[in-house]
């Protein structure tokens, strides 16, 4: 049986909102997105890559999947881009959606 490992993007003062863009997740009036430059920091890529290992899958909800798909497949090849494009992706959703990103399965 596999383990589920959660990777949380959290600031030292406890903000748990989308780290990549200021407009990434504005639900419920939250204004603190964009506090990290996801994918642009080589050290962050190195740490995440080392923690994930070689055998893993990505489990996300529909909104996260659509957001990740809107960004990562368009990026130049690097550790993080290749890792996310090639990993097996499982998408939990109550909405029947198409999954255009390679290696994606709707749950």
Q: Where are the domains of the chain?
A: 27-106
Tell me the per-residue pLDDT of 41-91, one tens digit each, with 9 for 90 and over.
677 767 766 666 667 889 999 988 998 999 889 988 887 788 889 999 999
pTM given for the model: 0.71
Q: What is the pLDDT of residue 40?
A: 59
Q: What is the pLDDT of residue 7?
A: 73
Q: What is the pLDDT of residue 100?
A: 96
Measured in residues, the chain has a length of: 107
Buried b / exposed e across 11-40, counting CB within 10 Å, b at 16+? eeeeeebbbbeeebbeeeeeebbbbeebbe
């Amino acid at each position: 049986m596999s383990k589920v490992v959660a990777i949380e993007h959290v600031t030292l003062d406890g903000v748990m909102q989308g780290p990549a863009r200021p407009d990434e997740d504005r639900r419920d009036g939250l204004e603190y997105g964009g506090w990290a430059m996801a994918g642009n920091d080589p050290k962050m890529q190195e740490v995440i890559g080392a923690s994930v290992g070689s055998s893993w899958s990505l489990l996300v909800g529909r909104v996260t999947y659509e957001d990740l798909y809107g960004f990562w497949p368009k990026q130049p090849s690097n550790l993080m881009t290749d890792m996310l494009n090639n990993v097996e992706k499982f998408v939990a959703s109550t909405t029947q959606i198409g999954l255009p990103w390679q290696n994606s399965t709707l749950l």
